[in-house]
Structure 1
């Protein structure tokens, strides 16, 4: 058993030494041996195949780029698994922060759009009230009967004892006044 441990330690040291020297073949052997295993391990945390592969690829890139400075005190396998674990947790933390920020922005935009909508509605209501107040009495009454009470022109004419043509004429005047006063909002409201 002790002989096997010494052989593993020697293998680890020689693998690391060769990689530190820039032995690409040794590095590729290490990559081929652990890449699929580490991808499956990372997937257990992030639950996304692409992210899992990216985590492991980044780990191996980091290992190669920093090969001269990296010191591994345990086995290479333990180092790779531990690094994969920490990198997976880091991805999860970033994802959580991103999700929280997106939710914050959605909430903020919803609040902002509701506020804007309410302000716009209040402004339109104010303009409608002013326009109604500036219309002649009969014109205002006819408009209210048609648009607010839902009466047809004939019903309005009968109630006010006027002709349908007079109702049409007054509605035309009222609508013209509303179009003029609400010209900035015509895309959002229907008269």
Structure 2
């Protein structure tokens, strides 16, 4: 496909517009399937067509235009994801560096953990087991009830007892 007329100073804008109209939406959908962000997908395709137009006289398409377009969008989308991943890593590192706990916070956290541990050990076995299955293992009340072969109401009641006791002990300790 030729995007420049025989006179290199007069580009064939109509041919470019045809290509743009034909492929813009499908390329946006393709980019979205990779980046999972509609705005970014459109940005990738728009940026590609802008660069494509600027470099049209230097681009040599050996196979098919469609293959070239899709491969270019794929590469751009993958570069975007790679860049986003690096940004996320820096953001996580920056958060970790800026949110270092003070020695007082560490001591307070350890005290709280000790109170929670002591309170849990003082609970009846089934109540402790239900609490741990819910809060540590992330099981829902129905899953716990099925696992322990008890009613959901029993799970709810035991969770209520455990939470009440934890609140009471933490309040007594000044938390």
Task: State the Cα deviation string for residues 37-82 of structure 1 (Å, max 9, x = none).
Answer: 0000000010001000000001100110011111111111100000
For residue 17 of structure 1, report the CA deviation from its aligned partner: 4.0
d(CA) in 2 for partners of 1:105, 1:55: 27
**For each residue in 1:131-179, what CA deviation from the matched residue of structure 2 results, as whole angstroms up to 9, or x when unmatched?**
xxxxxxxxxxxxxxxxxxxxxxxxxxxxxxxxxxxxxxxxxxxxxxxxx
- Tell me the residue number matched to 1:9: none
Q: CA RMSD in A?
A: 2.1
User: Which residue of structure 1 aligns with residue 33 of structure 2?
Assistant: 44
Q: What residue number does 2:69 align with? A: 80
Q: Normalising to structure 2: TM-score of the pair? A: 0.55
Whether the 8 Å contact between 1:72 and 1:79 is mirrored in structure 2 is yes
Whose helix proportion is higher, 1 or 2? 1
Provide the C-alpha distance between the structure 1 equivalents of 2:5 and 2:77, rounded to a whole number of angstroms.
Answer: 28
> Which 4+ runs in 1 deviate beyond 2 A?
15-21
Question: Greater Rg, structure 1 or structure 2?
Answer: 1
Name the SS for the 1:16 alignment partner. coil
TM-score, length-normalised on structure 1?
A: 0.51
- Unpaired runs of 5+ residues, structure 1, are 1-11, 122-191
Where structure 2 has 5 or more consecutive residues not aligned to the other structure, the ranges are 108-175
1:33 aligns with 2:22: yes
Q: How does 1:1-191 map to 2 (within 5 A)?
A: 12=1, 15-18=2-5, 21-111=10-100, 114-115=101-102, 118=104
Tell me if structure 2 keeps the 8 A contact 1:35–1:56. Answer: yes
